[in-house]
Amino acid sequence: MSALPLAERLRPKRLEDYIGQKHLVGKGAVLQRSIESGRIPSMILWGPPGVGKTTLANIISAEQERAFYTLSAINSGVKEVRETIDLAKRQQFFNAPNAILFIDEIHRFSKTQQDSLLGAVEQGVITLIGATTENPSFEVISPLLSRCQVYVLRSLEVSDLDELLTRALTIDIELKNLNIKVEEKEALFRYSGGDARKLLNITEIVVNAQIDKPEIVINNQLVESILQENLSMYDKQGDMHYDIISAFIKSIRGSDPNGAVYWLARMIDGGEDIEFIARRLMISASEDIGLANPNAMLLANATFDAIHKIGMPEARIILSECVVYLASSPKSNSAYMAINNALETVKQTGNLPVPLHLRNAPTKLMKQLGYGSEYKYSHDFDGHFVEQDFLPKELKGHAFYEPQNNQQENTLRARLKQWWNKRYGY
Q: Could you tell me how far CA 212 lies from the centroid of its own chain?
A: 41
Note whether 148 and 42 are within 8 A (CB): yes
Per-residue pLDDT of the chain (426 residues), as tens digits, is 566 889 899 999 999 899 999 999 998 899 999 988 888 999 999 988 889 999 999 999 988 888 899 988 777 778 888 898 988 888 776 667 788 999 988 988 888 889 889 999 998 899 999 999 888 887 888 899 999 999 999 989 999 999 999 999 999 999 998 999 999 999 899 888 888 988 998 999 999 989 889 999 999 999 888 887 655 444 544 446 677 888 899 999 999 899 999 999 988 887 788 888 999 999 999 999 999 999 999 999 999 999 988 888 899 999 999 999 999 999 999 999 999 889 889 888 888 888 888 888 777 776 777 777 888 888 988 889 888 888 888 888 888 888 999 998 899 889 888 899 888 877
HEC per residue, 351-402: CCCCCHHHCCCCCHHHHHCCCCCCCCCHHHCHHHCCCCCCCCHHHCCCCCCC
What's the one-letter identity of residue 46? W
pTM value is 0.58
